[in-house]
Amino acid sequence: MKLDHIGIAVHSIEDALGTYQHRLGFSLVEIVAIDEQKVRVAILPAGDSRIELLEPTAPSSPIQKFLEKRGEGVHHLCFQVKDIQSKVKELQSASLQLVSMPSDTGLEGRRIAFLHPKSTHGVLIELVESELEA
């Protein structure tokens, strides 16, 4: 599976851009809001994948909860899959636990699903359906 992006939880996208954009030199493509997930996302390409800075937009945001518990840092890794429905079935039959079933709540309405960190040695893994990569 190809790495689609790395999600990094931050308190403030503007603050984090001071580091990622201005000091580290990544370029900012855009900042979008995903209302369903109560986050604002800054997209910074990094080679074939990208960094997504995730800022909560509501106290009930999963990112807000993560920040309270763990502080800023890597929140999840996202990998591309060709057929998310069959991939999820395959993972479930391999006893991997899901946080959410596939739904259209990713950026640009892409279909995504999350695997529970308990199943993946402490890392939240997102799967995104993509025609580019298996």
Least spacing, CB of residue 7 vs Zn ion, in Å: 4
Least spacing, CB of residue 64 vs Zn ion, in Å: 16
Evaluate the CA torsion angle 85, 127, 4, 121 in order and state its sign.
Answer: negative
Q: Given the complex with Zn ion, which of 55 and 126 has the nearer CB atom?
A: 126
Query: Strand 49-56 and strand 112-115: pairing?
Result: unpaired
Least spacing, CB of residue 52 vs Zn ion, in Å: 6
Listing from the earlier edge strand, what are the strands of the sheet with 2-9? Answer: 30-34, 39-46, 49-56, 2-9, 73-81, 125-129, 112-115, 98-103
Q: Given the complex with Zn ion, which of 22 and 65 has the nearer CB atom?
A: 65
Q: Given the complex with Zn ion, which of 22 and 103 has the nearer CB atom?
A: 103
- Footprint of Zn ion (CB under 5 A): 7, 78, 126
